[in-house]
Amino acid sequence: MRWQKIAGALIAGALTTSAHASDRDLGLALCASMAKQMAPHHDEHGVFLPSYLASESGGELPRPMQDTAFVYDNALALMAFVACGQVDDARAIGDAFLAVGSNDRFYKDGRVRNAYHSGPVAKKIALPGWWDDAAGRWVEDEYQISTASGNVAWAALALLQLHEKTSDTKYKAGAERLASWLADLNREDGKLGIAGGYYGFEPEPVRIQWMSTEHNIDTFAAAHWLWSKTGETQWQQLAEKSQRFVTAMYREDRHFLIGTDNSGKPVDGIDAWLDVQVWPVLAGCSLGLVGSEAIMRLIDERFAVPAGYDFNSDRDGLWVEGTAQVALMLNLAGEHARASSLIDGLVQYADPGSGWLFATPVSELSTGLTIDAMGQGSAFTYHHWPHLGATAWTILAATQFNPFKPN
């Protein structure tokens, strides 16, 4: 049944249609659909995949999303390729991370931006942007050219996964450079946790004062991995500081909070967010406060929608990426039948043209967040577009690959 739902959507001829195909077979087919967007662009500087694609049912993308490769999505894609054994494709994205971290047009401190132009990476790094005919000038999106600490950590985690697979020391060195940027951000003050990063155009972007639980989970995972590899105190300190923040955001009678506001006060409202509940369990940074069973009860109570789970607790639609995250948590907890049932539900949302999964089956999915990093922009929403992040997370769930730890 599962393959009948997506026959023709996932790489014609890549695998034979079978009602008994395993989760891993599904993951391999989804990897093949991602790889179609890679070829023939492997070169010395690497390549980034676009985060979103145009499609018949999703329509054309708005200009800021065309040919835009978000770092987070590409880190996930790299790990998905590792999970599928497609090391050359994983290396191509890893080499792109190394290139952009070393050849930024302004910064020399090893940071990565939130997004880049998709496609082959040239020596002169291309940031996403477009020519505005009306204004007669080149335009860039302020969030895309900024740096969020969580995205830096995700790039580091991706490089660590690639080093684990290849033993190529350049990827470990790249991860250490990114983690050093996080450590430097950490040393700027004595606050609990890791700040959100920087927002705005060079030469003077604004330092983000709020702190994100997600960003601290990501930072913990990267720093803890490096600590286990090197035994260096700086990574231990970074991991412990991030972990303390995550555990401070837990409310025993409810859930993990999303983080703090600019004043350092925890954001403790009626809303809750799905990935903030799942990631502490996957990353192992909840210090035994809560396990997968308790988190699943909470998730079922507050996020469940038909066939999966919502981004936040307003339950206005299914979030494919987050549902895949839950499926991975269930798989790693030994709840394989329930995980497979969720994955079965997701495959019906494959775009027939690209084979990628849509971000959501509804036309627009709310998140309760804003599109910029300062809480002042328009609402951030997911749309019915083929999405790299949704596709990659489903691969990780299907292959039981934990992005936060060595596999």
Residue 374: which pLDDT band, with cuts at 50, 70 and 90?
low
Mean pLDDT to the nearest integer, 210-226: 97
One-letter amino acid identity for 199?
Y
| Nearest-angstrom CA–CA distance, 343 and 133 | 44
Q: In the predicted model, what is the mean pLDDT of the chain?
A: 90
| Nearest-angstrom CA–CA distance, 16 and 20 | 11
Tell me what pLDDT residue 379 has: 82
Inter-residue contact 390 to 359 (CB < 8 Å): yes
Reduce the DSSP state of residue 260 to 3 states and report it.
strand
Tell me what pLDDT residue 263 has: 86
**Backbone CA torsion sign across 167, 173, 176, 177:** negative
Tell me what pLDDT residue 376 has: 60
Opening angle at CA 149, ends 145 and 152, nearest 5:
75
Residue 214 clears pLDDT 80, i.e. is over it: yes
Inter-residue contact 21 to 15 (CB < 8 Å): yes
- By DSSP bridging, strand 206-208 and strand 197-199 are antiparallel
Our measurement of the distance from residue 357's CA atom to the centroid of its chain's CA atoms, rounded to an integer in Å, reads 15
Mean pLDDT to the nearest integer, 125-148: 92
pLDDT digits 0-9 by tens, 54-70: 999 988 999 999 999 99
Tell me what pLDDT residue 19 has: 32
| Nearest-angstrom CA–CA distance, 82 and 182 | 25
Reduce the DSSP state of residue 387 to 3 states and report it.
strand
Mean pLDDT to the nearest integer, 354-365: 95
Residue 131: which pLDDT band, with cuts at 50, 70 and 90?
confident
Inter-residue contact 55 to 353 (CB < 8 Å): yes
Tell me what pLDDT residue 188 has: 57
What is the set of domains in the chain, with CATH numbers?
2-399 (1.50.10.10)
Tell me what pLDDT residue 320 has: 98
Residue 243 clears pLDDT 90, i.e. is over it: yes
Tell me what pLDDT residue 288 has: 74
Inter-residue contact 385 to 358 (CB < 8 Å): yes
pLDDT digits 0-9 by tens, 297-347: 999 999 999 999 999 999 999 999 999 999 999 999 999 999 999 999 999
| Nearest-angstrom CA–CA distance, 76 and 50 | 12
| Nearest-angstrom CA–CA distance, 277 and 295 | 7
Distances (CA, A) of 201 to 143, 144, 372: 9, 10, 13
Residue 373 clears pLDDT 80, i.e. is over it: no
Residue 131 bridge partners (DSSP)? 138
| Nearest-angstrom CA–CA distance, 53 and 64 | 12
Neighbours of 90 (CB within 10 A): 25
Tell me what pLDDT residue 334 has: 94
Tell me what pLDDT residue 227 has: 97
The number of residues in the chain equals 407
| Nearest-angstrom CA–CA distance, 202 and 270 | 36
Percent over 70 (pLDDT), the chain = 91
Residue 18: which pLDDT band, with cuts at 50, 70 and 90?
very low
